[in-house]
Structure 1
Amino acid sequence: MIGSGSFSLMKPWLGWLSASASLAVLVTLGTAAAAWYWRWRDRRRLLRLKQVGTVSGLFIYPIKSCRGIAVQQAEVAKLGLRNGDLRDRSWLVIKEDGHMVTARQEPLLVLISITNQNGYLILSAPEMKDCHVSVKLPTKNPVRNCRLFGFDVQGRDCGEDVAQWITAYLKSEPYRLVCFEPNMLPRNSKDLMEPFRPTDKIAYSDCSPVMLLSEASLEELNSRLEKKVQVHNFRPSILVTGCGPHEEDTWNDIIIGSVQMKGQMACPRCILTTVDPDTGIIDRKEPLNTLKSYRLCDPSEKNLYKSHPLFGWYFGVDKTGTLKVGDHVYKIMW
């Protein structure tokens, strides 16, 4: 529609035209505006949205298996969430031979917390002095070949200081820290799990750029447990409230903020969920055993999930953008 303000701006040059020419110009502009309106209305009609929840938490885990950072807003990039220099699972602890080290092998990794200040990651752990790691590493630092779940990926070595710090904290064989840089080749989610698409990429995540979990699913689990667990046992990227238990399993395509994502598969849970995020003690039993009592897959999907219980949902990123705590979650109703 053309407003009165727009018409006023046209008066000076419409005055030079004949009455018939002026009418023709206005008809042309009006037709264009009408065409734009109908195209916009058709797009809205085709993209029917249903609100299914609200974002109640956003978490970034810069170093794989270390403590996550709660943020109020995040950019969702192709490889996962980021906030400034903090990129989800873009740093990795490795052995000297390049094999990954996670809390499955070293449960105390979950007690390492990370903050970000003036271009540095600051690592803190019990009875350890803080360690500063530059986000932008010198090009002289070697690029190492790393091994995750049987697949190769690169990482630039973060230096001797942090290598010695991690080794001393864990009282382990020599470990090193590497960083995935934007120019490096990411891993393909589809190589790890068949439901993913060729466009779904990851750095050091297990197999998906984004994992979403609902508060209701966690509450349902805790209602069955003697010792309650936290959301941190499950390390989601996005926590959602305002829906029923495991409703996230049905969200094939969603929009949050300016981000559009596609649900690919359930998150198969492993022994990492039994590591207490407050003590670093691995239980090896709960909550995994309880999840297995009611969250195993349908027999037809056993070739995909095997004996792992399912908790939370993996998403690929269709449209990058930003989201924040408090944003509504919309399911696309095709």
Structure 2
Amino acid sequence: MFKEIPPFTKKMIIDTAFRKASKKSRNDFEKVTLASDTISSMLEKIVKRYPSFQQMDTFQRELIDLLVGEDEIRHNLGAVQWASNMVKKIKREYLRKMRNNKDKAFQLRKQCYARYVSILDQIEENLEFLREARKKLVNLPSVNPGLFTVVLAGFPNVGKTSLLKALTGSEPEIQSYPFTTQGINLGYMEYRHTKIQIVDTPGLLDRPFSERNWIEKQAISALTHLADVIVYIFDVSETCGYSAADQENLLQDIKNEFNTPFIIVNNKCDLSRSEYVNISAETGKGVEILKEKIKEYSKSKS
């Protein structure tokens, strides 16, 4: 949705408006009108193409607020809308003057153009902010908050990517996530003519919270609005390089953040533990049992 926002600069707007007025207008009256209409149209296109925050889900809204600031976007859009209104007002003012002083139409049109430019000068920083915001927002992941969503968690090397492939039967999509250099991995399970969304977030739910900076903690907070179930992958064998105690501590960290159901999975089923769902993502053993558990949660949510 953010790709539809036009990345107009002050120069682009001025050049487009005056060039169009010069080519398509027969007199100074038409030039004043067409230049104004073009400027207002381009400014209002920026305002209208920004999606409504009220219609966004909480996950998307928190990400936007964290990345660029919802209040800052509102403020800068307000400045752009003000400029559009002012340009229309100036147009009406100068059309009246030109009708009353037809012999001075050329000079008045020049004055009017200068006023248009002055207004755009005043919002140059606002336009630049919105351009930079757009660059960041187009990189947000195309996660569908309307789907039942499973978030995978656990230390690195416990088999999250392998489990994602085993659950979905395909290679995951790699989506950009501005708060981690690794992005997020996304896949889908088919269930009852709809999809269950499976999300793996490398760099976020894979180490103790005490090691995180403020931005990472806020990014995790946003995930709490997305996750319907957390699948925590445990490596009882400790071949992942992390002790069972460390893995238990990370699990407790995540439980403290997420008020959602947890499914605890042991991805080394040769060392089974009765309290876990014992699977092997590599061989597929136990994966169907895990799928059924996920579907049960999905059923209860729908």
Normalization by structure 1: what TM-score?
A: 0.29
Structure showing the higher strand proportion among its residues: 1
Structure (1 or 2) with the larger CA radius of gyration: 2
* Structure with a larger share of its residues in helix: 2
Q: Which has the higher contact order (CA 8 A, sep 6+)?
A: 1
